Structures are given as structure tokens and as C-alpha cells.
């Protein structure tokens, strides 16, 4: 099957990107700068990411918020206009079908879903919400992420009003005379923005941003190491339909009003199982892992206890350039989930010591005003 291309594909090639298959698309994994320097540049200044492979969807109609609440354990009805929230699509067994961002644009809801899930998510939304609101895919729009401490200063040169925004605020903004949807958010742990732009205008906007002295093009390799240091889950790796929000340590993503015993408790798929797990606990749980030797511990590595008994598996892992050490995340039997628990990851037959640790591994620097 031929790979899809984003509207910035030609620009990536021009910039010397190494392209790889990702979620059905041909995407840049790194540029000549290299993953390590791209990571460090984003933490120090500003990195521009092409994330146009993600799915964008609008929900229109007066009942859109009430309708969406039937699919997610999140407070959508009281989401203020101009704000967005992290949400989880759950199935009847409490498993996670996808994680997504939901923004209230005032006259509609704007959703950003994962690339590998977008067709399934769209079908899910149409099946369950299609009779209550309009489900409008926006797959003809590109999505850029400008991330790092210089992001606000850079984007404010094109639209001064973005400097006033705080973390998780969203608004319609004109950039280079094009209608864009801009949120102050991202997937790196840094301050920054995600920018939805008409595909035909994406290359001009990307070139304009890359012309700023603080900005470098950043590939998927550094995006992964940045989000791992920030302790952020990657769907299909750190969570999937076989994990519930409680197992994935995402209890904070269950809005208070939707929890057991509160005003709009339940009403979303899998609510009974999720509430039972919050009461009674789970058999396994996602944890952060600090690797005690300078040995990268990758996804799929088995986790064992001091006796060599298998107690879990790594779901994401690699070198953390900002931390200067390898880091990982994975699932362990709940008896081994306490902070500072000493375990071992099996790497090429050798036991590498790891310690259960708090995430994020590197402090998040979202701008909260």
C-alpha cells in the first residue's frame, strides 16, 4: 500500500529529512541536524513539527457537547468557550480506543485525534453521535506544532494576540491572512502552540516560521524523546483498548463531575468497570522507569523482579537528552508500582537495573500566565 503524504512533504525533502513510514504516512524522522540536537534545540528555543497526519474533526449542533459526553469520561458540557481538554474515547470494557484533544470554539467542538486511529474514530463518532450533531472531518487541513520557550515570541510576530493565550486556550487566528485554529498546547512538555491551517497554505506558513532565527524543523525522532521525557503517553504503545484509564495512570483525565457519586457520573462506555477499578485497584499499572545504567531500554523489554520473575513490560523507552540518561515507561504488576521500587529490564539477555520513578522526568514548562 502506498504511503500518504502531508502537504509539507516536498518541503521535508528540500530540508534533507530522512523519511520513514508512520501511521500510514511518509514522515520525517529527522533532519540533517540529527535527533539529539533537534531535541535540545526544542528545549532551548523553538522547534517546528509537521503533525498533519493527525485527524481533525468538527462537531456542530446545539447537542454536540452533550452527545460527546456519552463517549468520553470528561466534562465537555462545562468546557468554556476558548478552552480545550484532554479526553479519552473508551469502549464498553473500559479500554482506551484513543486519546484526543477537545476544544470549544464557541459555535462548535474541534477535535484532534491520533493518526493511526482517525478513520476508526470518525466511524465511531458518526455511528454514536451522527443523529445528534454533525460530524465533519477536516482531513483537508494541515497541523503544525511550534514548541519551545521561544515559540510565543516567534508566533506573536505573525499574530500578537497569541502571546496573551495561556496553556490549553484555543482561538481562531489569522496567520498570513489564512484562517487558523491555534491552541497553546503540545506534546513536548514545553510551552508552544498547535496550529490548524488549510493544507494549501501550510507550506507558506511553515517557511515563514522556519525563516525566524529561533526555529528549526524537528522530526518524529525528537518528538518521541521530548514526549517521553515529559511522561506523555503514545497511543498504541503506552495505552490501547487492552488498558483502562486507571491502569494507564490517567485517572486525572476523568473529570470530577463524571466520577462515581457526582453530578453527571458515568454515562460513558465502560464506566462501571472504571469505577470499580478506582474503588478496588487494578492488577497492573503504568509507571515511569529511570534506568540505572547507560543502557537504552526499549519498547518490548521484559521487566523482572529481584528473583527474575516476570512482572511487566516496557512500552516506551530511549535516551533522554535533557535528563542525560535513559528513561522508559511500562506496565508492572501493581505490587511493584510504588516509587523507588527496584526492578530489572531484560536487554539482550542481560538484566539492567531500573527504578520506578515519577513522571514527568523533566519538568513541564507549560505557560499558565
Q: Identify the CA nearest to 264 among candidates 65, 112, 122.
A: 65
Rounded alpha-carbon distances, angstroms, from residue 207 to 62, 77, 83: 38, 38, 28
- Which pLDDT does position 125 carry in this prediction? 98
Predicted structure pTM score: 0.97
283-361 topology per CATH: Elongation Factor Tu (Ef-tu); domain 3 (2.40.30)
What is the three-class DSSP state of 229? Answer: helix
Beta strands 178-183 and 18-22, pairing class = unpaired
Q: Give backbone dihedrals phi and psi of 135, rounded to 5 degrees, phi first.
A: -105, 110
Q: What single-letter DSSP state applies at residue 38?
A: H
Helical packing angle, 35-44 and 220-229, nearest 10°: 60
Q: Which CATH class is domain 1-281?
A: alpha beta
CB 362 within 8 Å of CB 322: yes
**Cell numbers that stand for 185 in this block:** 498546547
Dig out the grid coordinates for 46 from the structure.
523553538
Q: 95's torsion region: left (phi>0), alpha (psi -120 to 50) or beta? A: beta
Tell me the sheet residues that pair with 48. Answer: 146, 217
CB 85 within 8 A of CB 168: yes
**What are the helix (H) ranges across the chain?**
9-14, 35-44, 64-69, 118-129, 151-156, 199-210, 220-229, 271-280
pLDDT block averages, 10 residues each, the chain of length 369: 94 98 97 98 98 98 98 98 98 98 98 97 98 96 98 98 98 98 98 98 98 98 98 98 98 96 96 98 98 97 98 98 98 98 98 98 96
How far CA 74 is from CA of 136, 271, 280, 342, in Å, comes to 21, 12, 21, 35
- Sketch the domain layout of the chain as residue ranges: 1-281, 283-361
pLDDT given at position 1: 74
Amino acid at each position: 500500500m502506498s504511503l500518504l503524504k502531508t502537504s509539507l512533504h516536498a518541503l521535508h525533502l528540500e530540508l534533507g529529512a530522512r523519511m520513514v513510514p508512520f501511521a500510514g504516512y511518509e514522515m520525517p524522522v529527522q533532519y540533517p541536524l540529527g535527533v539529539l540536537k533537534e531535541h535540545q534545540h526544542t528545549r532551548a528555543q523553538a522547534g517546528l513539527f509537521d503533525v498533519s497526519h493527525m485527524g481533525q474533526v468538527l462537531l456542530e449542533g446545539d447537542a454536540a457537547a452533550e452527545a460527546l459526553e456519552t463517549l468520553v469520561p470528561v466534562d465537555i458540557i462545562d468546557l468554556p468557550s476558548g478552552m480545550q481538554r484532554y479526553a479519552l474515547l473508551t469502549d464498553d470494557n473500559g479500554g482506551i480506543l484513543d486519546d484526543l484533544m477537545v476544544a470549544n470554539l464557541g459555535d462548535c467542538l474541534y477535535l484532534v485525534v491520533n493518526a493511526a486511529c482517525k478513520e476508526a474514530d470518525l466511524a465511531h463518532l458518526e455511528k454514536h453521535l451522527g443523529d445528534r450533531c454533525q460530524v465533519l472531518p477536516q482531513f483537508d487541513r494541515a497541523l503544525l506544532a511550534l514548541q519551545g520557550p521561544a515559540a510565543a515570541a516567534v508566533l506573536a510576530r505573525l499574530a500578537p494576540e497569541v502571546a496573551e493565550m495561556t496553556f490549553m486556550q484555543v482561538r481562531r487566528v489569522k496567520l498570513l491572512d489564512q484562517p487558523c485554529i491555534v491552541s497553546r498546547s503540545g506534546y513536548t512538555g514545553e510551552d508552544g502552540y498547535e496550529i490548524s491551517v488549510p493544507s494549501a497554505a501550510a507550506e507558506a506558513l511553515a517557511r515563514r516560521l522556519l525563516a525566524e532565527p529561533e526555529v528549526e524543523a524537528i522530526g518524529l525522532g525528537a518528538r518521541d524523546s521530548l514526549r517521553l521525557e515529559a511522561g506523555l503517553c503514545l497511543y498504541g504503545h503506552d495505552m490501547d483498548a487492552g488498558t483502562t484509564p486507571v491502569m494507564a495512570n490517567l485517572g486525572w483525565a476523568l473529570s470530577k463531575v463524571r466520577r462515581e457519586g457526582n453530578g453527571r457520573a458515568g454515562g460513558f462506555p465502560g464506566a462501571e468497570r472504571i469505577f470499580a477499578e478506582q474503588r478496588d485497584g487494578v492488577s497492573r499499572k503504568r509507571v515511569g522507569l529511570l534506568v540505572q545504567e547507560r543502557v537504552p531500554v526499549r519498547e518490548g523489554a521484559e521487566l523482572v523482579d529481584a528473583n527474575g520473575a516476570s512482572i511487566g513490560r516496557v512500552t516506551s523507552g530511549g535516551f533522554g537528552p535533557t535528563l542525560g540518561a535513559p528513561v522508559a515507561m511500562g506496565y508492572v504488576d501493581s505490587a511493584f508500582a510504588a516509587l523507588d521500587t527496584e526492578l530489572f529490564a531484560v536487554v539482550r539477555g542481560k538484566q539492567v537495573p531500573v527504578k520506578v520513578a515519577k513522571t514527568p522526568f523533566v519538568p513541564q514548562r507549560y505557560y499558565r500566565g
